[in-house]
Amino acid sequence: MTSLQHIINRRDWENPISVQVNQVKAHSPLNSFKSVEHARTNTQSQKQSLNGQWDFKLFDKPEAVDESLLSETLNSDWQNITVPSNWQLHGFDKPIYCNVKYPFAVNPPFVPSDNPTGCYRTEFNISESQLTQRNHIIFEGVNSAFHLWCNGQWVGYSQDSRLPSEFDLSELLVAGTNRIAVMVIRWSDGSYLEDQDMWWLSGIFRDVNLLTKPQNQIRDVFITPNLDACYRDATLHIKTAINAPKNYQVAVQVFDNEQTLCEPQIQSTNNKRVDEKGGWSDVVFQTIDILNPKKWTAETPYLYRCVVSLLDEQGNTVDAEAYNIGFRKVEILNGQLCLNGKSLLIRGVNRHEHHPENGHAVTTADMIEDIKLMKQNNFNAVRTAHYPNHPRFYELCDELGLYVVDEANIETHGMFPMGRLASDPQWAGAFMSRYTQMVERDKNHASIIIWSLGNECGHGANHDAMYGWSKSFDPSRPVQYEGGGANTTATDIICPMYARVDTHIADDAVPKYSIKKWLSLPGETRPLILCEYAHAMGNSLGSFDDYWQAFREYPRLQGGFIWDWVDQGLSKTDENGKHYWAYGGDFGDELNDRQFCINGLLFPDRTPHPSLFEAKYSQQHLQFTLREQNQNQYTIDVFSDYVFRATDNEKLIWQLMQNGICVDQGEHVLNIAPQSTHTLTIKTKTAFEQGAQYHLNLDVALINDCSFASAEHVLNTEQFKLINSNNLSSKSFASSSEQNAISVSETDSHLCIENDKFKLVFSKQSGLIEQWLQNDTQIISSPLVDNFYRAPLDNDIGVSEVDNLDPNAWEARWLRAGIGQWQRTCSSIHAVQSNVDVRITCVFNYQFNRVLQAKTQWLYTLNNTGNISLNISVQLNDTLPPMPRIGLSTTLNKQSDTKVNWLGLGPFENYPDRKAAARLGYYSLSLNELHTPYIFPTDNGVRSDCQLLSINNLTVTGAFLFAASEYSQSMLTQAKHTNELIADNCVHVHIDHQHMGVGGDDSWSPSTHKEHLLEQKKYNYSLTLSVKS
């Protein structure tokens, strides 16, 4: 018996050659059914779950683990913990978030001596009949390394947090109660290969199962479907590894629900084969021809059930395994990634396994929710960033229809150089093990169309070896790998990250061309699919539609995978009981990368960011063209870029909008063949009114429920502005015919303009409105002032640290220019009265460090109705960087029923470079509904292309953007979490003439496109302010 001390002294966790000891060879998932019918229906598997409450104790380091781990009785200081889970989320130790840097000193293969070690124990029962069979324990995921004992005897060791670790316990079990003990070590040499952009969490975080199989058994099955040259008929190649006598047989059956697709194919096990290895007979090869099966695609995820059974001499089923299979063929043809002979357009997203309460322990329900949300928002592909996912996830992708890039659990981003271990032969086994075991486990899934060698670990001989093995073992799938420049010999697909559409990113070592340029490089014939793009960190995803215009224009640009799916915030409650989402540093993890894990299209609870709507629209499968309009008749071309399915469950709902309000509507059933155009005519009954504006809204919704969404779910949208349609004219500024003469009075300190309806008082010193009354009601609670500042977005902050600003980031440039800190003085104010109105001119100077930064002139024109026509001109210092915004701000008194009504783009938040999905309409929302609660608070809630805004008694007309919030820009700037935001008793209103785009090609360089930068030095705009009677 190997002693505990001896095992600890081995220090396997600091030996890159020792990646597994006594572990069962990797294979496809096994269930062990007793009959073909059980296998077909996936019932009565011989797999027993060991999930539940286990005994747990955390030690400071492996050397501190005592004999209580293996004793028959427990000390009182052991506690309970749920398996699967991460121990940091149960009050033991602390989560750590780092993006690039390791949370320990880099000295591979050595790890810190202070190395938290979680010890687990549980018991389970074994029957007498089970003892006559083989019993394997399977840990689906343990972070980061562990030793295993059974009934006090050491079993083995394993690392690689994201793949199964399987051990044969057969010789150690007894009838009745059995005890296993697991020593999980937080840091191991394997941690150097797991430097992914996620939380460092530990423990047994995936399922633990006991698999019982007969002595004569199926050990593995490899099913490879292939289609003929016409992509019609199929051949199924089945390779079955067995432990069985030579007079046994292997039978293969393919089922379509309850119907058999073919006669059972039976092959004897005694066909001894001879090759370079010598004689061997533990593998059976079979081939089945299938005439014109239904094909699997993400659009039409049709699955068959393949049952492989082992028969004894009498033909009885000894063991059976079954897999859902899809008939499909993946190829690269003429520089394009193709499925079943058709070119694909990848609408992809990177997904971490993350739950805000459970960390990396995700359930089937969590997976289904994510996949359905992806499908509902027009995604068709997912990259398992950056590791193999829970095996159930691939089954669900097969069933619901997603293309999968399955990625090996290898990333050394914090290593310098990044490819240091990729070229080290001492680490070759670890690299190869992580890749080959992933492929062995996942090889039968139709949804997996691409293998990935890992992420951000440079390029070296170890990658070339992995690529070569892959091409030998599974030539049916292409391989991709971004490291080393995205176009090395170890990838079949050019797969850069964050390459831009038209702009090159300078890098002497590894050039990052624009995606258009990459295609034209001499000798380059591969397809380009971005492995990561459109960094969705906070208020982001600007200019996303530019990518999709390029994807649709250039056939070899075949899409990409957005970074990323969900904010990796963890649930936390402050001392006042207020909930917020935590990120790096919030658990006392001093070495951290703050909120860089908060870059999803969804909040942790799976509610959407506004950017998700932009992605959904840009990726939608139907494209609309308003071809003709005559009187009340409109001809629409609808092109379907579905590749494999007709739109046989969709209807088009149209609405005629007058000034943002629906005045007519109807429906058309759509049935469009793949890659085809359908023309339809819409007839309305509404006559256009003079001075009104009209839009045609189109929604394509499901008629009936489908596998991923309910009836009426909208997948495609469009809006057309119709001819003979005008923007809403500004509120009439004509004087009232009533005899309400305006009086102008002046003191040393104030200027007062009033009649019996309104009163407007200016401070002559500040030049600002101090009082605006209409029928004795105060309209604004603070003056109207110039506003050039926005609370910095993540994309504005770049890679700045708390004590070290990135000098190239927008935030740093704005701070150097003092934007938000300028001192305002009024250089002049004067009023001129005519027979019909009064004009007040105010001139303001803005200084920073005694240098004039800006000069503005406000011209108020008032008539006897109390309406204000406001014209503002802005002159900026030539040395200023592009501005965050050009506009004005004020505050209004907040009322219990304050609603914000506007005619403009909505209903969700939109910015100048992220507004393709928004539609012009008349909307009404509360302040809370206008606010986007970004986990790291920033400017938010802007609505673009507005013509009318009404809040309380104030109405604004013109052409502008606006935001209305319970929080000031100062509070949004200072707060680091949502729980720090305290609502004011007023409404902060921002009316912008122009607003800088949010950017989003990446979040660490100034990524806002030039056309969305405010680079001009002169601006002029006009608004009309009026008061509701």
**pLDDT band at 263; cut points 50, 70, 90:** confident
Write down the architecture of domain 217-325 according to CATH: Sandwich (2.60)
pLDDT greater than 90 at residue 245: no
pLDDT band at 967; cut points 50, 70, 90: very high
Interval 702-714 mean pLDDT: 98
Task: Please give the pLDDT value at position 921.
Answer: 98
* Per-residue CA distances from 76 to 52, 55, 57, 847 (Å): 20, 11, 10, 69
pLDDT of residue 910: 99
Q: Residues of the chain with pLDDT > 70: what percent?
A: 97
Q: Is the distance from CB of 347 to CB of 534 less than 8 angstroms?
A: no
User: How many Cα atoms sit within 13 Å of 431 on the Cβ side?
Assistant: 29
pLDDT at 89: 98
Q: Are 786 and 870 in contact (CB under 8 A)?
A: no
Task: Please tell me the CATH code under which domain 345-617 is placed.
Answer: 3.20.20.80
Per the model's pLDDT, the better-predicted residue between 6 and 731 turns out to be 6
Report, as an integer, the average pLDDT of 975-995: 97
Return the pLDDT at 930: 98
Q: Please give the full DSSP string across 317-357, using - where no structure is assigned.
A: EEEEEEEEE-B--EEEETTEEEETTEE--EEEEE----BTT
Between 116 and 72, the higher pLDDT residue = 116
**Number of other residues whose CB lies within 10 A of the CB of residue 834:** 10
CB-based contacts of 767, cutoff 8 Å, min separation 6: 826, 828, 829, 842, 843, 844, 858
Between CA 86 and CA 208 the distance in angstroms is 14
pLDDT of residue 277 exceeding 90, the answer is no
**pLDDT at residue number 896:** 82
Reported as a single tens digit per residue, the pLDDT across 315-346 is 999 999 999 999 999 999 999 999 999 999 99
Whole-number pLDDT of residue 76? 86
Tell me which CATH code domain 743-1027 carries. 2.70.98.10
d(CA 788, CA 872): 13
Q: What is d(CA 868, CA 991) in angstroms, rounded to the nearest whole number?
A: 15
Please tell me the distance from the alpha carbon of residue 957 to that of residue 904, in angstroms, as a whole number.
11
Q: Is the pLDDT of residue 427 over 60?
A: yes
CA 833 to CA 744: how far, in whole Å? 8
pLDDT tens for each residue of 996-1020: 999 999 999 999 999 999 999 999 9
The per-residue pLDDT for 75 is 83
Whether omega before 103 lies within 30 degrees of 0, making that bond cis, reads no
Structural domain boundaries in the chain: 4-213, 217-325, 345-617, 621-721, 743-1027
Q: What is the pLDDT of residues 147-201, one digit of tens each?
A: 999 999 999 999 999 999 999 999 999 999 999 999 999 999 999 999 999 999 9
| pLDDT, the chain, mean | 95
The two three-digit tokens of residue 677, written as one number: 């155009």
pLDDT tens digits for range 710-760: 999 999 999 999 987 666 655 555 555 556 789 999 999 999 999 988 999
Residue 716 token pair = 């495609």
β-strands 838-848, 851-862 pairing? antiparallel
Q: Could you tell me the fold of the domain covering 621-721?
A: Immunoglobulin-like (2.60.40)
Handedness of CA 18, 22, 28, 30 (dihedral sign): negative
User: Could you tell me which of 948, 939, 898, 896 has the C-alpha nearest to residue 920?
Assistant: 948
Residue indicated by tokens 């199989």: 213
Give the pLDDT mean for 13-27. Answer: 97
Give the pLDDT confidence of 771-816 residue by residue, as tens digits. Answer: 999 988 999 999 999 999 999 999 999 886 656 778 999 999 999 9
Q: How many residues does the chain have?
A: 1029
Residues 52-59 have a mean pLDDT of 98
Residue 862 has pLDDT above 80, yes or no: yes
* pLDDT over 60 (residue 1): no
Give the model's confidence band at 271: pLDDT under 50 very low, under 70 low, under 90 confident, else very high.
low
Nearest to 348 by CA among 136, 601, 666: 601
Task: Write the CATH number of the domain with boundaries 4-213.
Answer: 2.60.120.260
Using the predicted structure, report yes or no on whether residue 359 has a pLDDT greater than 70: yes
Would you state the pLDDT for residue 728?
Answer: 61
Closest CA to 735 of 833, 831, 659: 833
pLDDT at res. 681: 97
Which residue numbers are catalytic? 456, 532
For residue 94, is pLDDT > 80? Answer: yes
Would you say the CATH fold of 621-721 matches that of 217-325?
A: yes
Of the ranges 29-33, 292-296, 484-488, which one carries the lowest mean pLDDT score?
484-488
Tens of pLDDT, residue by residue over 635-658, are 999 999 999 999 999 999 999 999
Q: What are the tokens at 896? A: 């219990």
Q: How many CA atoms lie within 13 A of 142 on its CB side?
A: 25
Query: Token match 């063949």: residue?
Result: 673
Return the pLDDT at 514: 94
Query: Residue by residue, what is the 3-state secondary structure of 153-199?
Result: EEEEEEECCCCCEEEECCCCCCCEEEEEEEEEECCCHHHHHECCCEE
